[in-house]
Amino acid sequence: MSRNLPARPNLEYLKKEAKDLLARLQEQDPNAQLADAQFQLAREYGFPSWPQLKAHVEETVVLAASPFEGRWVADVARSKRHPANLFQRATMVFAVRGNAVDVRNEVVEEGGKVVRGRYTFQVDGVEYPQTHGIALKAWWRDKRTLDTRATQQGRVVGRGTYAVSEDGRELTITNAEQVIVLDRVVS
């Protein structure tokens, strides 16, 4: 049986998949080892061995550096801020590892107070519980666009789109209430 790797393969997911396969193999043969499961999984994905599958996935992650990666600064003049969120400045730093997106931000509020935050979410189309009874689902529309949907008790309470321009210099975050335009900081 041959299976296709996803467009953005995740080594941690493949390791979990190998451990799950090992449990099934050990039901048939108690002497089965993790290496046996890894070998079988690699063959299912069309690779002659686990080390070659692993090397391919690691290379894919390096070669396909996300256009979201890096530091971004909001251009207040080009943004349409929500009336309850009239910040003076905002900076965001994105780190993308497979489908895990880590965002650090610093916002200077209208009154001058500096607020820093950090959040991580999975961009894999699965809904994950967050704080305050909110669940977040995020998915890649394409390599430059990700969409999010927040629900609370099964009801949609927010949607957002993060889109990087074709030239990689601009990030636009859009939701029903605002459009934030950010420029890439080149160091």
Query: Going by DSSP bridges, is the β-strand pair 155-164/145-152 parallel, antiparallel, or unpaired?
Result: antiparallel
For residue 156, the tally of other CB atoms under 10 A from its CB is: 10
Together in a domain, 59 and 75:
no
Cα–Cα dist 178/174, whole Å: 6
CATH of the domain at 123: 2.40.128.20
Together in a domain, 114 and 58:
no
**Count of domains forming the chain:** 2
Q: Give me the pLDDT at residue 71, please.
A: 95
Together in a domain, 118 and 172:
yes
Together in a domain, 117 and 172:
yes
Cα–Cα dist 97/120, whole Å: 11
For residue 47, the tally of other CB atoms under 10 A from its CB is: 18
Average pLDDT over residues 34-62: 86
Together in a domain, 166 and 99:
yes
Closest CA to 151 of 161, 160, 142: 160
Structure tokens at 99: 């489908």
Together in a domain, 82 and 110:
yes
Average pLDDT over residues 61-76: 82
pLDDT single digits (tens) 73-132? 999 999 999 998 899 999 999 999 888 999 999 999 999 999 999 999 999 999 999 988
pLDDT single digits (tens) 137-186? 999 998 899 999 999 999 999 999 999 999 999 999 999 899 999 999 98
Domain, as residue range, for 20: 11-63
